[in-house]
Structure 1
C-alpha cells in the first residue's frame, strides 16, 4: 500500500511575472474549440470573396485580412465605429445582421463605378443619392455572398435598411458575432465589419438546439404536465395551538379547529389549494364532492 502525498499549493515568488488572461465580460466566450475554428475559417472565406468583389467592381486591387471573430453586443459594435459610417441592417434567419461600411470607402466604390479615380472620395463627408444607391447595391452583393462563401454554414441576410444609422428595430442589447475585414489599397487602410446574431450562429454551428415556436413549447409542456403524477389531498384550514396543548394530548381529547362547519375544505395539488370540496363517500371509502367549477384555480 503506497502513501499518497497531499497536493501542495502553488506559490509564486515575489515579483514574478504571471501570465494572466483577463476575461472580457462584454465579449463572452460563447464559441470555443472546433466550433470557433470552423466559424473563423468560414468568415475568412467570406472576407476573401469580399476582396474579389471589391476589386472587380472598382477595378483596383485590394488586399484583405480577416480578424478572428469575437462576441459583443450590437450596441458595442455600433459604438466602436470610427468616423462617418453607412449601416446595412438585415434579417438573418430568426435574428439580425449589421454590416458596417466606412462612408469614405462607400464613396470610393461609387466613384470608381462611375468612372472617376476615387482619390477625392475621402475628402467629402456627404454622399449623393446616386452614390448611396451604388453603395447599397454593393452591400447587398456582399451580404448575398455570406451563404455560398461559408458553404452554407451561415444563412443569407436579407437587407432591411441602409443608411447613416442602424435600423431602430435593432436590439442593441443582443449579443452578436463580430468579424472585421481589413482592406489595404495603395497604402490606404480601411475596415469593413459584420455583426451576426449570436443565437443564429450558435444554431447553425449545432451548439444549441433549433429555436422552437412558443406555441409548440406550450403544447409540449402542457402534455408533460398532464401526464405528471401529483398528490391530491383534502385539507382543513390551519389551526394554531400552543406546544403545551400538543404535549398534553391524550386519547379521546378534542382539538377545536378554526375551520367553520359550513365552509368547504380545500383540495390541494402538491400542497397548493386549487379547488373547494365537501366531504363525501364512495362505497366503503371516503371521498370529496367538488363544489367549485372544474379548473377554478385560486
Structure 2
C-alpha cells in the first residue's frame, strides 16, 4: 500500500485581531478622500475658534478610522459637549464632541476671562448652552464647506447633550467613521472627535467611488491610446520618391511606342517629392549611398 503524507507549512507572523461585526468597508480611495475633507474641517475649526476667542488656536487631524458606534461612544469622556448634527436630504446624523474642560475654557474666554487650564467639569447651564450653541452652529457650517468637494451636503445643529448615556445616534453595532482632531488653545490641548455613520456618508462615498472609477477608466483609455500609438509607429508603409508629374494628352499616350522618350520637365534645381500612401510628406534631392541610389531629405 502506498503511504499518504501531507506537508505542513508554518508561517511566522503575529496574529491580527479581526472584528466580524465591523468589516473593513473603507477603500484606500475612500479613506484618502475623508482624510482630505477632515483636514479641511480641522483648518476651518481652528479659524472659527481663533476669530471667536481672539487667540491662536491650532487644530490637526490625528486619525480617521472605521469602528462600531459602541466602540466609539465608549471612548468619549463623560460629561462632554455632544453636538448632534443632521444633514439635509441625507439619512442618519453625525456627532461632534468636545471635552468639557475645553468647552468651559471657551466659555470663560467668551465672558472676558483668561480661559485658565483649571475649569469645572460639569453639565452646561442654560446661559452657557446658548453661548456654545452659536459657536457650534458656525462649526457645523464649516463641516458643510469641508465636504463640498466630495458631495453637496448641508450640516445643521440639531441638539446639544452632555451625557453619553442619553445619546444614541446609531445602533451599537453600526459602523461609523470616527475622526480625532487635536485642538490646542494657548497652552491647553485636548482631542475633539467627529463621528459620522456610514449611512450618512453613503452619498459622499458614492461620489468618491464614481470619481475613482472614472479616473481608472480614463487611465485605461490613455493606456490603450499609448499602446495604439506605439503599434502605429511600427507599421510598415510604402514610401515613394518621384519627379514632377508629366501631363500628356490622350492622343500622346495612345501613340507611345517602344523607344519613345517622354521629357520629365523636372528642373535640376527642384527637389524630388517624397510621398507616403499618396500624401506628400517631404522633399529630397537625388544621390547615392554606397552602390545604391538614394534621396536626401531637405525639407519635411
Same fold by TM-score, threshold 0.5 exceeded? yes
Q: Secondary structure at the match of 1:80?
A: coil
Distance across 1 between alignment mates of 2:195 and 2:64: 9
Q: What is the Cα deviation at residue 170 of structure 1?
A: 2.6
1:59 partnered with 2:54:
yes
TM-score scaled by structure 1?
0.59
For residue 114 of structure 2, the aligned residue among 114, 117, 123 is: 117
| Structure 1 segments unaligned to the other structure (5+ residues) | 1-7, 210-298
Distance 1:83 1:168, change over 3 A: closer
Q: What is the Cα deviation at residue 9 of structure 1?
A: 7.4
Distance 1:137 1:34, change over 3 A: same
Distance 1:24 1:49, change over 3 A: farther
Name the structure with the higher helix share: 2
Distance 1:21 1:104, change over 3 A: same
Q: Secondary structure at the match of 1:69?
A: strand
1:196 partnered with 2:196:
yes
Distance across 2 between alignment mates of 1:139 and 1:148: 14
TM-score scaled by structure 2?
0.58
Distance across 1 between alignment mates of 2:131 and 2:149: 27
Distance 1:113 1:26, change over 3 A: farther
For residue 34 of structure 1, the aligned residue among 16, 23, 29 is: 29
Aligned residues between the structures = 199
Residue of structure 2 in register with 1:88 after alignment: 83
Contact 2:150 2:207 in 1 (8 A): no
1:178 partnered with 2:173:
no
Calculate the aligned-residue CA RMSD, in Å: 2.8
CA deviation map 1:243-265 (0-9, x unaligned): xxxxxxxxxxxxxxxxxxxxxxx
Distance across 1 between alignment mates of 2:17 and 2:46: 34
Residue of structure 1 in register with 2:141 after alignment: 144
Residue of structure 2 in register with 1:239 after alignment: none
Distance 1:125 1:199, change over 3 A: closer
Select the structure with the greater relative contact order (CA < 8 A; seq sep ≥ 6): 2
| Structure 2 segments unaligned to the other structure (5+ residues) | 1-6, 210-300
Q: What is the Cα deviation at residue 11 of structure 1?
A: 4.1
